[in-house]
Amino acid sequence: MSFTYQGRTISKIAVIGSGQIGPDIALYFCKVLASAGVSIVVVDISDEALAKGQARFEKKVDRGVKSGAFKEDRGEQMKSAVTWTSDYGQVAGAAFVVEAATEDPGIKQKIFSQLEQVCGPDAILASNSSHLEPEVISESLTDRKRSLVVHYFFPAERNYVVEVVPGEETDPEITGWVMGFYENIGKTPIRVASRYGYAIDPIFEGLFLAAALCVEKGLGTTKEVDAVATRALGLTVGPFLAMNLTGGNPITVKGLPIEGEKIMPWFRAPELLVKAVETGTPWEVPGRGETIEVSAEAEKAITDELQGAFLGLCDEVISSGIVEFGDFEMAVEMALDLIPPAKLANKLGVDRALDLAKAYADANEGFAAPRWLAVEASRGTPIAVPVVYTEQTGEVAVVKVRRPRSANSLSEASFEQLFNAFREVRDDESVRACVLVGHGIKAFVSGADVKFLAEIDSPEAGMRNSKNAQDLTVFMESLGKPIVCAMNGLAFGGGLEIAMACNARVAVQGLKLLAGQPEVNLGIIPGAGGVTRLPRWIGVEKAAALLRTGRPVSAEEALELGLVNMLVERNELVDRAGELALEIANGTADVRDLPTGALADVPATLPDVDIGHRSRAVDAILCQAIVDGANGSLADGLKIENEAWGRVCETKDMRIGIDTFIKDGPRAQAPFEHC
């Protein structure tokens, strides 16, 4: 057995290094590839390191079995998939190798020389480095085209972000393959140009430096600064606790002075850190559940320092051009678990954010003056963050929704950017067809952002938002070029609604949860065309049962219902969707069109369905909209659906449903009052 992606077949992966992060990298590969028969080899010259790494690996697997994350037999499969060895000969046959040794260029170069002797000529050689430029690491190789950096973040098996950093001689096809491979196995890769520290570590280490300087300036203790940092930047853990958890002091004390040479002079190893490394003393940080009292004056001073430093650090990375802005915004939030720069700037006000960054630069010698923020402030509007991306392959444009932290849910910005993307597709004469897909492997689009729905405060606001969403689906249908939805994961709510506005749908086979309209669980109904289009794709009675209960369907049931046109292997999804889109453009595809007129044999009343705890008031509005919409044209149905949405917004149950979701999560049953 093996795993194949874009022409490369992987039966073995090697991880070099069984220290701090290597076993966790191996664990993630096991999670996603062991079931495909891929074996993992972990190599280390130290038997003690191998034993410790294996023990930690197996402890995490056992914890996953105990928590129900995976079944016992899968846990045993993962354990048996890994070989722990000091024999480099075991690496032979590996198609992909990740070196995860200590952050020392000499050691890494020596390892790469050994790998080049052992591995086949087509093996990709990657280094999990946090700082070193790929050109430095690959210096000992004779063939540098197949080498690059893949930088994981703590904890590697759960943190989805991976920085992919090609060197000057890296083959662009290798870089593209690695980017696609990581997304195909569930990670969120971002491409970063070669520079010491890449894009994210200067933020992590720079924020720590700013926190240490707060202590050295007497603004607060390490405990106090950590406590304020969580509030000022939305951090889950403060900078000092993060260093304790990651064991980052030794790497950071070396990295900061080099960042001072290669990025900006402000970076340096603070005396506080030097002493901590010399003594091996962990930072004093707030205990679990401990409340740290800080005066209002100290709170403001520390907040201004940390926010100014953070915004200025992010400004430097964005202004350097080493990473795409949207990638950086996403990666900072996901990798470091804090409020990303544009979101923080918008929250504070862009002018205020600029003032904070300027003030920090003015007060700290060697700190770069803000450039990106200055440009954004001059616009006089909130900073827009891209969440929809378009790439063209031949005559096919691939439009991707990318909001992985929220399972690609649709925000107001998502709708606007989808409009813009499809306009570009329409107007580009070199594009004949389009594929719409979501980022990653979990979700195509998981629905509308519930926070977005929570802002609806009147029937008029509800109808306006419904109409805006409907306008997108109508625009898609009238594009003049076929759109095929590549359903890479679950399509719920608004996600299924925009999928149904495509000419055809291709889904990943074997998905137990693929599609559904779960709106009734929130005390609402579909508003972007789901009430109108689902009956036209699969029939009124079958659609009504799904709409009224919110029951999701698997990929196989979706195919049986006629909701999707074909099921394919995940690694074929986008390619097959593109082929189908071109076939539709050529008039050779065997796909049916969505009926736009009144449907035949529409029942006067819908069959009884057990709606359980769901709102009977909302159900009555929904049933009438289904029947009336099916008896009219597609345009009539959309208007009826929009008006029904307005009536739902007048119910008490809508507010109960959305409030319950926000407070207690999607599994909670809302206590509807049926009015």
Catalytic machinery residues: 497, 519
Pure H helices in 280-340: 296-320, 325-336
Element (H, E) at 464: helix 459-477
Number of CB atoms found within 10 A of residue 323's CB: 22
Which residues fall within 8 angstroms of residue 517, CB to CB, at 6 or more apart? 492, 493, 496, 497, 526, 530, 534, 546, 547, 550
Q: Give 161's strand partners.
A: 188
- Please report, for residues 492, 523, 558, the alpha-carbon distance to residue 540 in angstroms, rounded to integers and kept in the order given: 19, 21, 15
Omega into 155 within 30° of 0, i.e. cis? yes
Total residue count of the chain as it appears in this document: 675
> By C-alpha distance, which of 482, 475, 607 is closest to 539?
607
β strands within 184-238, DSSP E: 188-191
Cβ neighbours of residue 583 under 8 Å, at least 6 residues apart?
589
Check: CB of residue 53 under 8 Å from CB of residue 18: yes
User: Residues 630, 631, 634, 636: is their CA dihedral positive or negative?
Assistant: negative
Q: Which amino acid does the sequence have at 418?
A: L
Longest C-alpha distance within the chain, in Å?
81
The sign of the CA dihedral 207, 211, 213, 214 is positive
Give the distance, in angstroms, between the CA of residue 604 and the centroid of all CA atoms in the same chain: 45
Which DSSP helix (H) or strand (E) runs through 8?
A: strand 8-10
28: Cβ contacts below 8 Å, ≥ 6 apart? 156, 157, 187
Quick one: which of 416, 395, 328 has its CA closest to 585? 395
d(CA 71, CA 469): 41
Q: Is 529 left (phi over 0), alpha (psi -120 to 50) or beta?
A: left
Q: What angle do CA 300, 305, 306 make, to 5 degrees?
A: 100
Non-local CB neighbours of 280 within 8 Å, separated by 6+ positions: none
CB atoms within 10 A of CB 150: 25
Partners of 438 in the β-ladder = 401
Residue 60 CA to residue 603 CA, distance in Å, equals 55
Tokens of 607: 């069959």
* Alpha helices (runs of H) in 105-171, residue ranges in sequence order: 105-118, 134-137
Residue of 528, 567, 534, 566 whose CA lies nearest to 550: 534
